[in-house]
Amino acid sequence: MSDTVTVRVPAKVNVQLAVGAARPDGFHDLANVFLAVSLYDEVTATPADELTVTCAGPDAGKVPLDRTNLAARAAEILAERAGLAPAVHLHIEKRIPVAGGMAGGSADGAAALLACDALWGLKTPAEELLAICAELGSDVPFSLVGGAALGTGRGEILTPVPAGTFHWVFAVADGGLSTPAVFREFDRLTAGTEVPVPQASPALLAALASGDPDALAATLANGLQPAALSLRPSLADTLAAGTEAGALAALVSGSGPTTAFLVRDAESATKVAAALNASGTCRSTHTATSPAPGATLL
Ligand code: ATP
C-alpha cells in the first residue's frame, strides 16, 4: 500500500472506424483501429474518508465530479469486487478535450482503476482489470493497454497490431459532441441503405505497420465522419484549413468534434498547428505522436 498513486493515460485517435448497422441492443458492431497518442490525462489517487473527485485543466468545468465520472465508477467497481469501501480521493489533471472524440472519460476510468489497484495493494490480474474496463465502456480497455489495436464487437475486443511512429496535430473545437447523438445521426443518414459488415482494412493495417505516413494518409477512414459533419458542419472548415496548411490527411477523431491531422514530421506538426490556430476554425491545438503507451503508474 502507498500514500498516493499517479497514473498517466493517453488519448486515442481512430485511424479506421468502420461502423455496422445498429444491433438489436442498440449498439453498433465496429471495426475500429485505435492508436494511442501522446496527449495525456493524469489521475492521482489518495486515501480519503469517502469517494471524492476533483479536476483541473482548461475543460475542468465540463467534467462531472459525482459518481457518474468514469474515474469514480472505476473506483467503486474495483472496491466492491475487493470488498473494500471506495475511500479514495481522485484528482484528474485533464488535458484530453472533454466530449471530444478522444476517449478522455474512458482514459480517466482506466487510469483510476490502475491507480486504485496500486493504492489498495490488490494486484488484480490484467484480464480482470480488462473485464472491469469493458464493463465501464467500449473504449476503456484500449485506454488501459494503449499502443495500437484493432477493436471489434462494440470496440472492446482488442487485438494489438504493429504500428510505426506517426506525427499528429489535433484541433480542439468549441463545445463537445455527444457520442450517442453521433451514432443516432449515423442511423438516420444510413436508414434504408445496406450498411456493410465492418471489416478492418488490410491496406490500412499494412500502412500502420510500415510507419509510412503517405500510405497511412491514403487509407485513413472514419465512418462516423459524415454524421459528425452533419451535426457540426463548421468542422469542414477546420479540416480544410489543416489540409491547406500541408497535413497529409485530415479526419474527424472518433465521434468528434476534435479533428485529427496526420503530418510528415515534428516540424510539419508545428507548422500545421500554427496555421490551424491562426485560421480561427478551432479553439486550440495539440501536437502529438503515436503510438503512446497505455495507462502507466508514474
Ligand atoms: P469517446 O471518444 O470515448 O466517445 P469522448 O472523448 O467524445 O468519448 P469524453 O471526454 O469521454 O468524450 O466525455 C463524454 C461525457 O462523459 C462527458 O460529457 C461527461 O459528461 C462524461 N464523463 C464522465 N467521466 C468523465 C471524465 N472523467 N472526463 C470527461 N468526461 C467524463
Structure ipTM? 0.94
Give residue 173 CA to ligand 1 midpoint distance, Å.
15
Active site residue 62: no
Residue with cell 469542414: 236
Predicted local confidence at residue 1, as pLDDT = 52
Statement: residue 145 has pLDDT above 60:
yes
Q: How far is the CA of 32 from the centre of ligand 1 (A)?
A: 18
Cell numbers linked to 204 = 490500412
What is residue 79's predicted lDDT score, i.e. its pLDDT?
98
Burial class (CB in 10 A: 0-12, 13-18, 19+), 68: exposed
Ligand 1 pocket, residues with Cβ under 6 angstroms: 63-64, 68-71, 92, 98-106, 108, 139, 176, 179, 254-255
User: How many angstroms does the Cα of residue 215 sit away from the middle of ligand 1?
Assistant: 31
Give the distance (Å) from ligand 1 centre to CA of residue 194: 31
Nearest CA to ligand 1 atom 3: 103
The chain-wide mean pLDDT, for the chain, equals 95
d(CA 210, ligand 1 centre) in Å: 32
- HSE, CB side, 13 Å, CA atoms: give it for residue 86: 20
Least confident window among 87-91, 176-180, 237-241: 176-180
What integer is the mean pLDDT of 3-13?
97
Please name the residue whose Cα sits nearest to atom 12 of ligand 1: 99
The answer to whether residue 67 scores a pLDDT higher than 60 is yes
Instruction: Kindly report the three-state secondary structure assignment for every residue of the chain.
Output: CCCCEEEEEEEEEEEEEEEEEECCCCCEEEEEEEEEEEEEEEEEEEECCCCEEEEECCCHHHCCCCCCCHHHHHHHHHHHHHCCCCCEEEEEECCCCCCCCCCHHHHHHHHHHHHHHHHCCCCCCHHHHHHHHHHHCCCHHHHHHECEEEEECCCCEEEECCCCCEEEEEEECCCCCCHHHHHHHHHHHHCCCCCCCCCCCHHHHHHHHHCCHHHHHHHCEECCHHHHHHHCCCHHHHHHHHHHCCCCEEEECCCCCCEEEEECCHHHHHHHHHHHHHHCCCCEEEEEEECCECCEEC
Q: Give, using CA atoms, the residue closest to atom 23 of ligand 1.
A: 69
Q: Kindly state the average pLDDT of the residues 26-31.
A: 88
Give the ligand 1 atom nearest the CA of 59: 29
Q: What is the pTM of this model?
A: 0.95
Q: What backbone torsions phi and psi does residue 220 show, to the nearest 5 degrees?
A: -60, 140
Q: Which of 98, 106, 156 to mutate to test the pocket of ligand 1 (most atoms within 8 A of CB)?
A: 98
Q: Which of 29, 41, 117, 139 is catalytic?
A: 139
Residue range 87-110: average pLDDT?
A: 96
Residue 179 alpha carbon, nearest atom of ligand 1: 4
Residue 262, pLDDT above cutoff 70: yes
Please name the residues in contact with 25: beta carbons below 8 A apart, sequence gap of 6 or more.
none
The pLDDT assigned to 25 comes to: 87
Least confident of 3-12, 65-74, 174-183, 221-230: 174-183
108 vs 19, 31, 35, 225, 280, CA distance in Å?
A: 25, 23, 17, 25, 30
Rounded CA separation 258/10 (Å): 15
Of the listed 12, 41, 108, 117, which one is catalytic?
A: 12
Query: How remote is the CA of residue 230 from the centroid of ligand 1, in Å?
Result: 21
**117, 88 in Cβ contact below 8 A?**
no
pLDDT at 27: 86
Query: Angle of helix 126-136 relative to helix 104-119, nearest 10 degrees?
Result: 140
Q: How far apart are CA 104 and CA 117, in angstroms?
A: 20
Cell of 232: 457540426
Q: What is the pLDDT of residue 155?
A: 81
Ligand 1 nearest-atom number relative to CA 139:
3
The backbone torsions φ and ψ at residue 238, rounded to the nearest 5 degrees and listed phi first, read -65, -45
Please state, for a pLDDT cut of 70, what percent of the chain lies above it: 99
| Residue 265 among the catalytic residues | no
Domains and CATH numbers, the chain: 5-161 (3.30.230.10), 166-290 (3.30.70.890)
Please tell me the residue having the least CA distance from ligand 1 atom 15.
99
Residues 6+ apart with CB under 8 A from 74: 109, 110, 112, 113, 116, 132, 136
